[in-house]
Amino acid sequence: METTRKNAPAPDNAVEIDMPCGADRLLRKLWGQWKTHVIYVLGEHQACRFGVLRRRIAGISPKVLTTRLRELEADGLVWREQENTIPPKVTYGLTETGLAVHAVLKDIEKIEV
């Protein structure tokens, strides 16, 4: 017979604390495969068109790159500019916040683990 405790308090490690931590918010925005790589490449090469960016990130699919760029744009780390030509020219670059994140990534790169 299986017994369960009803209305038992959550263990201490399960209590969620509402603490505004900038590092935590940033890491949540960077969570996801390829996001830091996209930021790093855009920071190293300034603004890039989609095709150029895709060639500079070996192994990423167009679908995943599109998704990650949209997520980073929604989070305010990447800007997107579209020229209404045929075919449309779309350029991506880092916002001021994205440039600050790129600088942090460059500093992390120096750490030997």
Q: Determine whether 90 is exposed, middle or buried from the number of CB atoms within 10 Å of its CB (0-12, 13-18, 19+).
A: middle
What's the pLDDT score for residue 70? 95
pLDDT per residue over 70-105, tens digit each?
Answer: 999 999 999 999 999 998 899 999 999 999 999 988
Domain ranges of the chain: 48-113
For residue 105, the tally of other CB atoms under 10 A from its CB is 16
Taking the model in full, what pTM does it have? Answer: 0.74
CATH of 48-113, one of 3.30.590.10, 3.40.50.980, 1.10.10.10, 1.20.5.510: 1.10.10.10
Per-residue pLDDT band at 7 (split at 50, 70, 90)? low
What's the pLDDT score for residue 44? 92
